[in-house]
């Protein structure tokens, strides 16, 4: 039988501790997980739990887990995406020469993010931010990923990464707009463009997630016809 949690090399290296990750959907699975965590060499356990699995969530709370975010996932058809009617901002594919600007935007836009890493006071927020920077940057080298950037007033103002999960579905993964360019519709333009490119390449649906508290992207998605598909709590449980 496989272990109820998996060692996360990426998280462990980033924070200099032993991090495991798990998902539990039932009370019995949550109970097994906490038994495993008690006996394994774990510093931090990151657990996702569907919001409807209330008994499992309550067990994680009783065991000392802290709620660090609620991840909402939306899904929608590409048929509603049309080519962008305006040229401002210009949105194009990211090139290798854009890498350091892309990393700079990711660093600035994710510096105090709503995600579970930043919500845990025991984790170094600078290391948490670098996680998003690496995630954005690594998409440039991944052949199944698409990375778009926006240009405003001659500078890179935002980015968006997406992954082709299969012929039918693209998952939009990470987006950021530099703080000085926010509230100008740049994210909405990046989102429109990726939806259109997915449609052009034959995908029929897009999938995307964020934290429940992150209202700006959810406004843009619902206007584009996406609907809430499911939601997961994220708990962090520390051994000591």
Binding residue for ligand COA, selected from 8, 78, 109, 145, defined by CB under 6 A? 109
65 binds ligand COA (CB under 6 A): no
In the complex with ligand COA, the residue whose CB is nearer, 137 or 214, is 214
Instruction: Note whether 188 binds ligand COA by CB under 6 A.
Output: yes
In whole angstroms, give the CA distance from residue 60 to residue 15. Answer: 22
Would you say 140 and 147 are in contact if contact means Cβ atoms under 8 Å apart?
yes
Residue 76 in the binding site for ligand COA (CB under 6 A): no
- Cα dihedral 32, 35, 41, 47, rounded to 10, equals 50
Q: Which of residues 111-170 bind ligand COA (CB under 6 A)?
A: 113
Give DSSP secondary structure letters for 60-119: HHHTT-EEEEEEEEEEEEGGG----S--SSEEEE--GGGHHHHHHHHHHHTTT-SSTTTT
Nearer to ligand COA among residue 15 and residue 159 (C-beta): 159
- Among 110, 117, 159, 237, the residue binding ligand COA under the rule CB under 6 A is 110
Helix (H, G, I), strand (E, B) or coil at 121: coil
Q: Which of residues 206-225 bind ligand COA (CB under 6 A)?
A: 210, 214-217, 219-220
Residue positions counted in the chain = 240
Binding region for ligand COA (CB under 6 A):
109-110, 113, 174-177, 182-188, 210, 214-217, 219-220
């Amino acid at each position: 039988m496989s272990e109820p949690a998996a060692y996360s090399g990426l998280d462990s290296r980033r924070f200099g501790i032993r991090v495991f990750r798990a998902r539990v959907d039932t009370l019995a699975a949550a109970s097994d997980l906490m038994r495993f965590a008690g006996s394994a060499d774990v510093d931090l356990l990151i657990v996702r739990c569907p919001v409807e699995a209330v008994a499992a969530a309550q067990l994680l709370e009783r065991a000392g887990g802290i709620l660090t975010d609620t991840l909402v996932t939306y899904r929608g058809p590409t048929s509603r995406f049309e080519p962008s009617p305006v040229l401002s901002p210009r949105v194009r594919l990211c090139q290798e020469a854009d890498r350091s600007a892309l990393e700079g935007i990711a660093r600035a836009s994710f510096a105090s993010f709503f995600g579970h890493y930043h919500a845990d006071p025991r984790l170094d927020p600078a290391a948490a931010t670098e996680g998003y920077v690496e995630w954005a940057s690594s998409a440039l080298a991944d052949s199944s990923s698409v990375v778009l950037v926006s240009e405003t007033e001659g500078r890179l103002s935002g980015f968006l990464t997406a992954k082709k999960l299969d012929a039918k579905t693209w998952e939009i993964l990470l987006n950021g707009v530099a703080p000085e360019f926010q509230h100008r519709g740049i994210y909405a333009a990046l989102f429109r463009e990726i939806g259109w490119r997915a449609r052009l390449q034959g995908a029929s649906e897009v999938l995307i997630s964020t934290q429940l508290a992150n209202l700006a992207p959810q406004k843009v998605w619902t206007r584009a016809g996406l609907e809430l598909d499911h939601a997961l709590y994220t708990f962090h449980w520390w051994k000591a």
